[in-house]
Amino acid sequence: MDITDRAAVAKFASDAIAIYGYVDSIINNAGIIQPFIKMNDLQFETIEKIINVNLYGTLNITKSFLPHLLTRPEAHIVNVSSMGGFLPVPGQTIYCATKAAVKLMTEGLYAELMETNVKVSIVFPGAMQTNIMANSGIENRQARGESSSMKALLPSKAAEVIVKGIEKNKLRIFVGSDSKMMDFLVRLNPIFAGKLIYKQMKTLLS
């Protein structure tokens, strides 16, 4: 399903509820990154695609299922953001903007649903062993430029961390020691954190 197609998403939600009888939780995990180039060189077509998938895709799924979730005895919404949702990453400015938007949208939703049966969590993954580069159409040349110092987490381990966070009704779920560390560092000294991530990522910039 194309999550940017609002009508298709609404139909999917209706069909899922009709087939299974109920839905108790949703996890908005779909997302794409941008080519590792500066915003000045990024085409609007690419910008719009990233916004449509990362932000509107999450919004479409959430809005389609939320009315039903509110009828359930207990329900949960999980939205996946990124370290880029709280940390500026050069060459990923638009991606970071969408993930920051997902972060604040989720936190706002958490506040709105505080006195309801629907719990809300926001996930901040660090380096992960996923196919996000290939799925985003990023060239292998850029992928090979990734720092070998990054210890990417297995998806199975990430899933375990996320499920445990859901069970504990955590608002913020950090996946990976790098995510936890950078969250602490960016709050302690945002300028130093920004310079640190720039040094690690600048070789990827086209």
Cα–Cα distance measured from residue 8 to residue 106, given in angstroms and rounded to the nearest whole number: 22
Q: Which amino acid is at 3?
A: I
> One of 20, 22, 95, 198 is an active-site residue; which one?
95
- Residue 198 known to be catalytic: no
Distances (CA, A) of 175 to 49, 106, 182: 26, 17, 12
Q: Which amino acid is at 124?
A: F
Q: Do 122 and 173 form a contact (C-beta atoms < 8 A)?
A: yes
- Enzyme catalytic residues: 95
